[in-house]
Amino acid sequence: MQPRSSLFVIGLVIAGVSCGSDTEQSVETAAIVDTVANDPGTTIPPDSTEAESTEAPSTTTDGIVRISVTVGVDSGPDRVEEVSVGDSIELTMVNPDEDDEFHVHGFDLGGDETLAGDAKMFAFTASEAGDFEVESHATGEVLVVIRVS
């Protein structure tokens, strides 16, 4: 039987294959599953098939960088999202617990109250370099830092 940590890594690889073509991903995943399946003493713990993350990664599609932040889940002053000058940004903020007002410093965005659980989306262009804090007026905390370089 393999130690739990080895199985966790295998589970992360199965859940986290993210580069290459779909065919390459399927072959890699199948090879890992085959390896685990051929050892009858190997069991995969139920929590090993998904990578745990406190941070929702930003995604880029159609030339737009999309950043999603949920207050109390993947927010905090240590969360830094890096983008380039000139990038189009779509920043989606949600506070699941209380009404909130979000503010994107340096871009003078915000000021509208957002009801608990509702998403507030800011669309803007990262027009200058620097670190820009996004804060909650309900909690007074920095939720994410957008680093433009």
Q: What is the CATH number of the domain that holds 125?
A: 2.60.40.420
- Does residue 54 belong to any structural domain of this protein? no
Residues 28 and 64 in one domain: no
The separation between CA 145 and the C-alpha centre of its own chain, rounded to angstroms, equals: 13
128 Cβ neighbours under 8 A, 6+ residues apart:
85, 106, 148
Given this model, what pLDDT does residue 147 score? 97
Residues 99 and 74 in one domain: yes
Q: Is the pLDDT of residue 46 over 70?
A: no
Cα–Cα distance for residue pair 70/40, rounded to 1 Å: 41
* Total tally of structural domains belonging to the chain: 2
Given this model, what pLDDT does residue 100 score? 96
Neighbours of 72 (CB within 10 A): 15
More confident of the two residues 10 and 128: 128
Q: State the residue range of the domain holding 88.
A: 59-148
Given this model, what pLDDT does residue 108 score? 85
Residues 81 and 38 in one domain: no
pLDDT tens column, 102-130: 999 999 898 889 999 999 999 999 999 99
Residues 41 and 72 in one domain: no
Overall pTM > 0.75: no
The separation between CA 128 and the C-alpha centre of its own chain, rounded to angstroms, equals: 23
